[in-house]
Structure formats: C-alpha cells, structure tokens
Amino acid sequence: MRFIKMFQFKIFAITLIIIMATASCGAADPALKGDATSPSTTAAEINLTDHNGQPFQLSSHHGKVALVFFGFSNCVDECPATLALIRQALETAGKSSDDVLVVMVSTDPVNDTPESMKEFMQRFDPAFLGLLGTPEELAKVWQDYGVVVEDGGETHSSLTYVVDGAGNLRETFSPEATSDDISADLITLLSEK
C-alpha cells in the first residue's frame, strides 16, 4: 500500500514538474537555471513561528533571497539531501550568501517540535530556520505553494521555492538540481538588488 501511494505521489510530482516546465517555456528567464515562474508573481505570505519561538513573516525579509523548502525533522532521505545541497550552494556563493534566507516549513505538525526542528536545521547551518504552526496554519501555506502532504507529513512535494529580494516567486528547483545551478541563480538574483 505504501509503495502504491509513493508511486502515485511520484507520478503527481513528475506531472507537476512537467506542467511547470511547459508553462515556463518561451517566457522563462534565460539567466536562471531553475524552473522559472512565468510570469513571476508575489510569493504567498508565510506567517508561522520559527524553531526559536519567534514569529516569522516572509514579507518582513524583503531584500533577501529566500529558499523555501517543505519537510519534517525526522526525515532521513529527501529533506537532509536537499538541505545539504542548499548548504553546498551557499558555500559556493560565498559572502553573497549572507543575504540568503533558508527556511523549511514543517509537513508534520504532530511530531515536529521547536527542539526537533532546531536540532535538525543546525545539522546543516545554524542560520537555517525550521517553521512550525498549527495544522491549519501549515495547511494554508502548503495550499498556497501547491504542496501535497500525505502520510502524516512523510510524503510531501520536494521542490525548493526561490523568492527574490522583492518578494516575487521566481523559480523552483527539483531535487535533481545541482548546487552549482542553485548557487549561480542565487548570485544572479542577489545582483538584482
């Protein structure tokens, strides 16, 4: 049963990626290596609480490029792989990465705690933030970003959303992206400020 659900989820994810890629053909920003959002739109607001217990509002971070990922603190495969990839991209970008915000929105409101999220995120970078909220608050963010969450959060969409310094959703990266591509796009977007 789990295999069938995972297979269905993978088919959905592949279909979503194909639709996004097709929608951006011909109008994509040629300077970006990810799947450009065409046209770019204002990123949906995120109002949650970070793993330090502080209110988090995405729009209050204008001027920074934000990488928004969805996952959970007990993940052993996709989430750590993606966060390690992002960390590597930031290392490649060098000093300019000081203006990059990395957040992971919880897909498991039942089991993710401030402590578990903080411990998980600090494995990759102490500046990375885990975002928590009530099931209703999280469900709104999932819906706003088109994220599918199943199996109590263990099965979830695994795109990384890139929000530019003006607060526009510019592109997404799939799990197959390279750290060099992410790094190059971060440098491009940071130079737009």
Q: What's the pLDDT band for 31 if we cut at 50, 70, 90?
A: confident
CA distance 50 to 42: 22
Answer whether 72's CB lies under 8 Å from 79's CB.
yes
* pLDDT value of position 177: 93
CA torsion, ordered 75, 76, 82, 87, to nearest 10 deg: 100
* pLDDT value of position 193: 63
Q: What's the pLDDT band for 139 if we cut at 50, 70, 90?
A: very high
For residue 130, give the nearest of 143, 114, 152, 110 by alpha carbon. Answer: 114
Number of domains in the chain: 1
Radius of gyration, alpha carbons of the chain: 16
CA distance 63 to 110: 33
CA distance 187 to 180: 11
- Residues 3-29 pLDDT 10s: 444 444 444 444 444 334 433 333 445
Judging by DSSP bridges, how do beta strands 35-42 and 168-173 pair with one another? antiparallel
pTM exceeding the 0.95 threshold for the entire prediction? no
* pLDDT value of position 154: 61
* pLDDT value of position 65: 97
- Residues 109-133 pLDDT 10s: 999 999 999 999 999 999 999 999 9
Domain of 36, in residue numbers: 2-190
- Residues 41-74 pLDDT 10s: 999 999 999 999 999 999 999 999 999 999 999 9
Share of the chain above pLDDT 70, in %: 81
Identify the CATH number of the domain in which residue 14 sits: 3.40.30.10
* pLDDT value of position 50: 98
